[in-house]
Structure 1
Amino acid sequence: MTQEIQILGQEFVLHPLGGLFWKEKSMLLISDVHLGKVAHFRKFGAAVPRKAIHKNYVLLDQIVAEFEPFQICFLGDLFHSSLNKEWDLFENWVAKTPSELILVSGNHDIISPLKFEQLGIPIYNELVVEGFLLTHHPEQRDGLFNFCGHIHPAIRLRGFGRQNLRLACFFQSQNQLIFPAFGAFTGTHTLHPKKGDKVFAIVEDEVIQV
């Protein structure tokens, strides 16, 4: 189940896979997919199942099929590290995806921009779209609302006794929304909400405000 929110008079849908759909723009925003991370770890001897390589593409196909966006904007760390065998899978995914793709560069995006340009994917350091600042790292800019990633936010919920649960989340403060990591093979960083913050936790197949 998705969660619908409004920011600056625009309508957005938070999806439990970690993406956000901007209705007015028909734009799907996704952060921190970290493609190639499994292949990178396997190359250096990590015991990661080979089938994990395909998980991110299955999730991407699922969310794209649900929204059918005109445009997909990746908010950085699309590919985890240097070029590896998974690039071929990425090329195949791009070729069969009808949406226009753009990348806001993150700290892990070290592959030559020419490789992305050959696939028709422009790269930007940041984008400003109708009052929204799209970046990878969290930024504060007067007069703009920031969509960003990088942090891989999570929230810790405590129950009776010593029960606690850590869940990936969308983390909204006054002028910012931090996206959860979309990638299936990524960690999280626990954030602590202050008064006025909104937390939208991902619980299995639902986005729930907590």
Structure 2
Amino acid sequence: MNLNIKIRNQDFVLHPSGATYWPEQEILLIADVHLGKISHFRKFGSAVPLEAINQNFSNLDQLLKEFDPEHLVFLGDLFHSSLNMEWDLFAQWYQTIDNQVHLIVGNHDIISPIKYKELGISIFSELKIGEFLLTHHPEEHDEFFNICGHIHPGYKFIGQARQLLKLPCFFLKPNQFILPAFGEFTGNYYLKPEETDRVYAVTGNEVILVN
């Protein structure tokens, strides 16, 4: 189940996949897919199932079908490392969609920009849209509200009997919104919210406000 919030009088739809849809701009925002990471791990002997590779593309297809955005913006770390078999899968997948795709380059995006431009994907270091600044790394700005990724935010639920549940989350600060990692097997970094922060946990099939 999606959760709708407002930021600076703009609507944002938080999806259980970790993606966010911005209807006023017809933009689907996705952070930290880390394509190629599964193939990279398997190359060095990790027992990661091949099905997880296809799951990333299946999740993307479901989102594009649900929201039908004009623009798909990846907030960095679309690919985890250098070229491997998943680039070919990505190129094949890209040919099946008709959305405008843009990449804000992250620290893991070391594949040549030429490869993206050959597909027709626009590359940016950052993107300004009205009052909003889209980046990969979190940035503090007086003039803009920052939407970013990179952190892979997560939240820990601790029960009365010391049960521990760890979930990815959307992390909303007064002047910043951090998206969870979208990709399979990406891991989380567990943040401690301040009183002015809002945490929206992703449970798998819904997004819930937890503080």
TM-score by length of 2: 0.98
SS in 1 for 2:60: helix
In the alignment, the residues of structure 1 paired with residue 115 and residue 121 of structure 2 have an alpha-carbon distance, to the nearest angstrom, of 9
2:158 maps to what in 1?
A: 158
Q: Which residue of 2 aligns with 1:112?
A: 112
Residue of structure 2 in register with 1:43 after alignment: 43
> 1:40 and 1:163 mapped to 2: Cα distance?
33
Long gaps (5+) in structure 2: none
Q: Secondary structure at the match of 1:56?
A: helix
- Aligned counterparts of 1:204 and 1:48: Cα–Cα separation in 2: 20
Matches within 5 A, 1:98-137: 98-137=98-137
Residue 17 of structure 2 aligns with which residue?
17
- Residue 56 in structure 1 maps to residue 59 in structure 2: no
Write the letter of the residue equivalent to 1:144: F
Partner of 1:191: 191
Deviation of the 1:204 alpha carbon: 2.1
Q: CA deviation at 1:174?
A: 0.5
Tell me the residue number matched to 1:83.
83
Distance in 2 separating the partners of 1:50 and 1:133: 36
Query: In 1, Cα distance between the equivalents of 2:204 and 2:41?
Result: 26
1:144 and 1:157 map into 2 onto residues whose CA distance is 32
Distance 2:12 2:49 in 1: 35
* CA–CA separation in structure 1 for the residues paired with 2:204 and 2:186: 16
Q: Secondary structure at the match of 1:96?
A: coil
The residue number in structure 2 matching 1:169 is 169
Query: C-alpha deviations, 1:141-176, integer Å up to 9, x for none?
Result: 112100000000001111112112111000001000
Following TM superposition, by how much is the alpha carbon of 1:201 offset from its aligned partner in structure 2, in angstroms?
0.4
User: How far did 1:49 drift?
Assistant: 1.6
Distance in structure 1 (CA, Å) of the matches to 2:10 and 2:51: 39
* Equivalent residue number for residue 68 of structure 1: 68
Equivalent AA in structure 2 for residue 47 of structure 1 = A
User: C-alpha separation between the residues in 1 aligned to 2:177 and 2:8?
Assistant: 12
Equivalent AA in structure 1 for residue 108 of structure 2: H
Unaligned ranges ≥5, structure 1: none
* In 1: Cα distance, 2:49 partner to 2:159 partner: 34
CA distance in 2, matches of 1:203, 1:48: 22
**Separation in 2, partners of 1:204, 1:74:** 21
Moved over 3 A (4+): none
Question: In the alignment, is the contact (CA less than 8 A) between 2:135 and 2:149 conserved in 1?
Answer: yes
Q: Distance in 1 between matches of 2:146 and 2:13?
A: 16
Which amino acid in the other structure matches residue 119 of structure 1? Answer: L
Match of 1:4 in 2: 4
**1:51 shift after superposition:** 1.8
**Which amino acid in 1 is paired with 2:43?**
K
Q: State TM-score, norm by structure 1.
A: 0.98
Quote how far apart the aligned CAs of 1:55 are. Answer: 1.2
Three-state SS of the structure 1 residue aligned to 2:202 is strand
Q: What residue in structure 1 maps to residue 28 of structure 2?
A: 28
How far apart, CA to CA, are the structure 2 residues paired with 1:155 and 1:41?
25
